[in-house]
Amino acid sequence: MKQSLFTKYLNELLNVEQFAGKDFCPNGLLVDATGDPDHKIEKVVTGVSLRDALIEKAIEDKADAIVVHHPNGFWNSIKDHRLVDRHGNYMRKLIKAGISLYGYHLPLDFHDTIGNNAVIAGLLKMQVASRFGYADIGVIGKCKITKPLLKSVFPKGVIMVGTVDPNARCTVAVCSGAGGSEIEEFGIGKKPCDVFITGEVRESTVIYAQENNITLVIAGHHRSEVFGVRALADLFSRTHGIRRGTFIDIDNPI
């Protein structure tokens, strides 16, 4: 598939226009490694975060493009100055290897079939009723929550604050990554929620959950966001014009 068509395909699939002005980084083609719109994209590597190790793996795989959820070096934040030196190194490696870079942040949290939260909900066998949180990226619905089920979805384990009746159909909210603060939509006098599943929280989030009788499940920022890029890789392998999609998980316990 030509790079120009691949870019159009991804931007339309993930509806990037919906998040214009709402996200914390650009979405879409971030590094055009060859400057050629006809550059063939046949082997695509996906990963949670842009980092040296992912680029090296993509070079070994002879990939034509990388698609990430966290485009480190491209965040709209003054704090990202810490990545300036690394950013330059990333760009040099990508351009030298002829590997274009794509990043999709909120679009890959939101998507209703291959988004992080939708995939988690599906694995939990949740009946999704509605959305919540910033840009409506979170999902909420009913399902049973058991420790074996959580282990199957998050095989590297979770931190659970509180308890849950494994025989009860609970109201469960899911907001991956750094979505812990979205718990404040729920609680006493607010929307009902029995279990809140996220990736990363503040110390105050735990207190809020305890004081509002919400069981908190913390899976890790990275580990709660492997789902979207993994689903993308599977989709690429079934997409006409792309020979192979490969998800590479370089684990991060945080």
- Name residue 172's beta-bridge partners: 141, 195
Q: What is the pLDDT of residue 73?
A: 86
| Residue 27 to residue 110: CA distance in whole angstroms | 13
| Residue 119 to residue 225: CA distance in whole angstroms | 10
One DSSP character per residue, 90-146 reads HHHHHHHHT-EEEE-SHHHHH-TTTSHHHHHHHHTT-EEEEEESGGG-EEEEEEE--
Given a cut of 60, whether residue 115 has pLDDT beyond it is yes
Shared domain check, 90 and 130: no
Q: What is the pLDDT of residues 5-25, one digit of tens each?
A: 999 999 999 999 999 999 999
Q: What is the pLDDT of residue 88?
A: 85
CATH of the domain at 102: 3.40.1390.30
Q: What is the mean pLDDT of residues 154-169?
A: 97
Shared domain check, 53 and 21: yes
Q: What is the pLDDT of residues 162-215, one digit of tens each?
A: 999 999 999 999 999 999 999 999 999 999 999 999 999 999 999 999 999 999
Q: What is the mean pLDDT of the chain?
A: 95
Shared domain check, 67 and 46: yes
Shared domain check, 179 and 94: no
Has residue 244 been placed in a domain?
no
Lowest mean pLDDT across 27-41, 80-94, 142-156: 80-94
| Residue 213 to residue 240: CA distance in whole angstroms | 49
| Residue 141 to residue 171: CA distance in whole angstroms | 6
Shared domain check, 29 and 18: yes
Given a cut of 60, whether residue 111 has pLDDT beyond it is yes
Q: What is the pLDDT of residue 86?
A: 74
Has residue 8 been placed in a domain?
yes
Given a cut of 70, whether residue 90 has pLDDT beyond it is yes
Q: How confident is the model at residue 87 (pLDDT cuts 50, 70, 90)?
A: confident
For the chain, how many structural domains are there in total? 2
Q: What is the mean pLDDT of residues 228-244?
A: 95
Q: What is the pLDDT of residue 84?
A: 61
Are 197 and 209 in contact by the 8 Å Cβ rule? The answer is no
| Residue 202 to residue 61: CA distance in whole angstroms | 38
Which range marks the domain in which residue 185 is found?
Answer: 111-218
Shared domain check, 84 and 135: no
For the chain, where are the E strands, in sequence order? 28-31, 43-49, 65-70, 100-103, 127-132, 138-144, 159-161, 169-175, 195-198, 215-218, 244-247
Q: What is the pLDDT of residues 36-86, one digit of tens each?
A: 999 999 999 999 999 999 999 999 999 999 999 999 989 887 666 555 667
Q: What percent of the chain has pLDDT over 90?
A: 93
Q: What is the mean pLDDT of residues 140-168?
A: 97
Q: In one letter, which amino acid is 91? A: M
